[in-house]
Chains A and B, each alone.
Chain A
Amino acid sequence: MQKSSSSILSGKFFQKYLNSQNVVPFIFVLPFLISFVLFFIYPLFSTFQMSFQEIHGFNDVRYIGFTNYKNLLNDRFLSAIRVTMTYTFWTIVILVPLPVILSVFLNLKHVGASFFKPVLFIPQLTSVIVAGIFFRFAFSDTPDALFNTIVGFFGIGPVRWLKEATPTMFALVTLCVWRWLGVNIVYFLSALQSIPREMYEVAAIDGAGPVRRFLHITLPFLKPTIIYVTTISVYGGFAMFSESYALFGTARTPGEIGSTMVGYLYQQAFVEARMGFGAAAGVVLFFMVMIINLIQLKLFGAFRRGDY
C-alpha cells in the first residue's frame, strides 16, 4: 500500500505532468474555477435567459421577449427600488460618520477602549433573524412596547411602527446600525492606529486644535477606509432583504413599506411562482450594482469588498 502510492507519486507521469510548474498552479485554483463556472457564470447567464421567459414548471418554458421588463414598471417594484435606495442612503449617512467619531473617541487614552470595542462588536454575532426577532417585538405597536415607551418619554406616540412607511424605515435602519456599528468602528480603529503619533505631536506644537488635527491628519488617513466602508454599505444596502424579512416574517410587507428589490424578486419567484419575472428583477438589480461598480472603479481605482 505504502509502496504503491509512493510509486505513483514518484512515477514519471506524476513528475512530468501533475508536479510540473505549468500544471500545479492550475490544480491549486481548480476548485475556484469549477465553482466559478457552476455557481457563478452559469446562474448569471441563466438569470438573463430566464428574464426573457415565462416559466411554468421545468418543461413549460416560453420566450416572451421584453414582456417581463415591461411588467416591472409597476408600483410595487418602483416602491421596492425606492425603499432599497432610501435604506442604502440612511445606512451610509449613519454608518460612516458615526463610527468614525466613535473610533476617534476609542483611540484616545484611558477611555476604556478594551472594554467598549468588544461590547460594541457583539451585535455582529447575531443572525439577522435573531436581531429581527428582538426589533419586531420592541417595535410592537402596543403602547407599552419598548420603543413606544421610549418615544412616550418625549410625548410622542404610540407609533404604529411596522405599519407605516417612515417608522418602518426607521426600524430597518436601526436594526442595520445595531448589527454593523461595531464592525465599522473596528475598521476605522485599525486605520487610526496606523497614523504615526508624532504627526499629532508636531501639529499640536504648531498650535493646531483638536478639530483642525481631525480634519487635516485623521480624515485624510481614514479616506481609504471610508471608501471601503461606503462601498460595502452600498452593496449591503442594494442586496438587502433579510432585515425586512426578519421584521415582517414574510417577503411581502403591508403596503410594500418594507419590501426591497431582492424581497420583490424572492416574492415573485418563490411565493407567486413567476420565475421569469423574478429573474428580470434580478437583471435590473445586476445593472444597478454594475453601474455602482463602474463608478467606484472610476473614482477610486481598484477596490475590494469584504463579507456580507
Chain B
Amino acid sequence: MDSISKNKASKISIILVLSFFAIFALLPFYFLIVSAFKPGVEMIRHGITLNPHFEKFTLDQFKLLFDPKESNYFYWYRNSLLYTGVQTVLGLVLTSMVGYGLGVYTRYKYRNVVFIMVLLVMMIPVEIMILPLYKEMVSLKMFDKIWGVVLPFAVFPSAVFFFRQYSLGLPLELMDSGRIDGLTEYGIFVRIMVPLMKPAFGAMAILISMNSWNAVVWPMVVLRSNKKLTIPIGLSTLITPYGNNYDLLMPGAVLAVIPIIILFMLNQKAFIEGLTSGSIKG
C-alpha cells in the first residue's frame, strides 16, 4: 500500500471512531424524544427499546404535562426560569465585583489572602456542608424559598476566579484617566471596565445559568413544596412508578433539555467557551 492510500485509510478509520462516539453522544436524545410520545406504561413494561414502536405514539402525555390538575410541570418550568434568571444576574454582579477587586487593586494588602479563600471554597465539595446549610436556611427563614436556592451560591467561586484572571489583563492606565476625569473608583468599574469585560460576562452568564438550570443537590435539599421545585428536582420526584408519573417523565425531560440545545446550536462557541472556562488559563 502506498503512503497516500495508507493515509486515506487511517483517516477513514479515525472518522469512523469519532462517528461512533458522536452516535453515543446523540442517541440518548433520539430515544428520549421517541419515548416521550409513548404512554408511560410502555416504560414500565419494556424500558427504552431499540424498536421505536411508532404505532404506539400518542400526544396524551404532553396534554397531561400542562394540565395543572395532573402535574405541576408548568410551575417547575416557571420556577427554573425564575431561579436561573435571578441567580445569573445576581451572580454576575457579585462575582464580577469581587473578581475585579482582586485583579485590579494590586496594592491591596489582603488580596492574596482573599484569593486563597476563594481557592479554598473551590477545593471543598459543597455536599459536605449541606446539612448545616439546610439548618441555616431554616433559621434564616429561607427554606423552601427562592433566596434559599439562590443566595448561598450567588458568589460562585469559579466565576470569581475567572473574572479575576480576566481583570489581570485590563488596561490599568484607563483607571488613572478615569480618576482625572473625576470618576470614583466605582464609576471607573461601571463605566469603563465593565464594558471592557463584556466577553467575560458572556462566558460567565452561560456558566452560571447552566449550573443553575441543571442544579440537583442543593435545590433538592432546600426546596420542599412540589409547586416550588425546579424542573430537574420535579422530574426526580417522578422517577418512582406511581400514578401517572411515567407518562410525565419522558416528555418532561425532553422539554427541559430541548430549549438549551436550541440555544446551544445558535451559539455553540460561546457555550463551549463558557462551560469550559474553568480550565487552566494564563
Contacts and interface: CB of A to CB of B under 8 A. Distances in A.
Interface of A: 9, 14, 19, 21, 24-29, 31-33, 35-36, 38-40, 42-44, 46-47, 50, 58, 102, 105-106, 108, 110-112, 115-142, 144-146, 149-150, 178, 181-183, 186-187, 190, 224-225, 228, 232, 235, 238-239, 241-242, 245-246, 248-250, 262, 265-266, 269-270, 275, 278-279, 282-283, 285-286, 289-290, 293, 304-308
A235 B123 CA distance: 8
Interface stretch (B48-56, B57-65, B66-74, B194-202): B48-56
A145 to B, nearest CB: 3
B32 A225 contact: no
B205 interface: no
Interface residues of B, number: 103
B240 A279 contact: no
B89 interface: no
Contacts of B22: 115-116, 119-120
Contacts of A105: 14, 17-18
Contacts of B123: 289, 293, 305
B87 interface: no
Contacts of A50: 131-132
Contact of B268 (A116, A118, A137, A250): A118
B47 A137 contact: yes
A138 B216 contact: no
Contact of A28 (B32, B50, B97): B97
A248 B249 CA distance: 14
Given A35-B154, A142-B46, A43 B132 contact: yes
A29 B161 contact: no
Given A127-B231, A138-B47, A285-B125, A241 B217 contact: yes
Nearest to A247: B239
Contacts of A262: 125, 127, 217
A153 to B, nearest CB: 10
Interface string B227-267: 00001110110011000000001100100110011001100
A181 B222 CA distance: 30
Contacts of B120: 40
Contact of A145 (B47, B101, B261, B280): B47
Given A29-B114, A286-B124, A289-B125, A111 B207 contact: no
B158 interface: yes
A125 B264 contact: yes
B177 interface: no
B130 interface: yes
Given A32-B98, A105-B17, A225-B279, 11 more contacts: A24-B186, A27-B101, A44-B128, A58-B138, A125-B261, A130-B253, A137-B35, A140-B46, A238-B125, A248-B239, A293-B123
Name, among B26, B45, B186, B239, the residue most crowded by chain A CB atoms within 10 Å (CB to CB).
Answer: B239
Contacts of A278: 131
B122 interface: yes
B241 to A, nearest CB: 9
A225 B114 contact: no
Name, among A111, A134, A145, A278, the residue most crowded by chain B CB atoms within 10 Å (CB to CB).
Answer: A134
Given A43-B129, A123-B28, A262-B127, A32 B160 contact: yes
Contacts of B256: 127, 130
Contact of A36 (B26, B117, B127, B239): B117
Contacts of B233: 129
B176 interface: no
B164 to A, nearest CB: 10
A176 B249 CA distance: 21
B123 to A, nearest CB: 5
Contacts of A126: 214, 257, 260
B210 A125 contact: yes
Contacts of B184: 9, 14, 19
Contacts of A134: 28, 31-32, 48, 253
Contacts of B271: 121, 125
A181 B21 contact: yes
A31 B274 CA distance: 23
Contacts of A186: 272, 276
B86 interface: no
A111 B17 CA distance: 11
B168 interface: no
Nearest to A150: B50
Nearest to A130: B253
A120 B29 CA distance: 12
Given A24-B185, A35-B154, A133-B239, A190 B216 contact: no
Nearest to A118: B268
25 contacts: A19-B184, A31-B155, A35-B155, A40-B120, A105-B17, A108-B11, A118-B264, A119-B25, A121-B275, A125-B271, A127-B214, A127-B231, A130-B232, A134-B31, A144-B51, A146-B48, A187-B276, A239-B125, A242-B217, A245-B216, A249-B239, A262-B127, A275-B135, A305-B123, A308-B125
